[in-house]
Amino acid sequence: MEVRPFLDAHRLCAVACLVFLSAGADAAKPPKPARPAALQPAPRLPADTLDRLQSGDAARIQSALDDVRVAGRAGAVAVPVIVSLLRQGMSLALTEAAIETLGETESASAGEVLCWYSRHRELAVREAAVQALAHSVGPETVRALRTALADGEPAVRGLAATALGTLKARAAAPDLFIALDHHVNEAAASIGEICAPSECERLVDELGRMPFEVVTSGLERMLLRPAAEVSDDVKVRVVSQICALGTAGAHGFLRGVQVRWPASGSPAVRQALDEAVRVTKGSPGRRTPGAVR
């Protein structure tokens, strides 16, 4: 059957949505737990690492920071010394290196000093601190990142938005919507990571007002979240709304999610995706294979 663009696509999507919702979304089968990979032994810090950190010699401090960074979480024993150095003040280069190293240790005890440096006058330092905060945990971390959403530099605002999504800071959703309104495009993806059902549907409403690629960066993440976080009913409605756009962009997005849909994912959402991809296949503006721009 030939698919007519726009109106027919809208009707088909709406009918498909009603069928899926009236039938009730099937519960997603819980994925089988992944087998743990073989644990690699954590790199051990050289015995003189703390001595080098406290040596006062820039080259030795840098070499010690490098060792701690490589050690990752195993370098947590050095965190108090690095925090102390940052509180005392160091050269700009060592300050950046120390902040980046704290991020690699993922130590909660580094949060306070990282929050302070997220307001530093130097852009490079603020960027490093905000990135490191994405690996810290604590209420002061989320507060600092929410503040950084209003930083004077776009790069810092974007990093802060991404960090809030990484931390699953659900309380920050209202701030992220404000940031999105102020063209912090990274906020869309983070909203998709943390949105409650009403917030997820609010993100859909941004279609047509915000660039399609920006909004769908969040919708894709939302659709791929577990059913325990976002219900199948919500996902089916979102798929139907995107399908109803009847555009090439909608088809490409839906096809991308369809390809990535996990085998253990909800059959109802999978069916909605399959139908939406079929309906939008002949959407206006869609390039045929081999077509030349």
Q: What is the pLDDT of residue 139?
A: 78
Just give the CATH number of 48-137.
Answer: 1.25.10.10
Q: What is the pLDDT of residue 205?
A: 92
Q: What is the pLDDT of residue 99?
A: 97
Question: CA torsion, points 223, 226, 227, 231, in degrees to nearest 10?
Answer: -40
210 bridge partner residues: 207
Tokens of 205: 């409403």
Instruction: Return per-residue pLDDT of the chain as tens, 293 residues.
Output: 444 444 455 555 555 544 444 444 444 445 555 544 445 566 789 999 999 999 999 999 999 999 999 999 999 999 999 999 999 999 999 999 999 999 999 998 999 999 999 999 999 999 999 999 999 877 799 999 999 999 999 999 999 999 999 999 999 999 999 999 999 999 999 999 999 999 999 999 999 899 999 999 999 999 999 999 999 999 999 999 999 999 999 999 999 999 999 999 999 999 999 999 999 998 765 443 333 33
- Residue owning tokens 């409403």: 205
The gap from C-alpha 245 to its chain's centroid, in whole angstroms, comes to 25
* 36 to 30, 48, 189, 229, 286: CA distances (angstroms): 17, 33, 28, 24, 43
143 CB contacts (<8 Å, ≥6 apart)? 115
Q: Are 190 and 176 in contact (CB under 8 A)?
A: yes
pTM of the model: 0.80
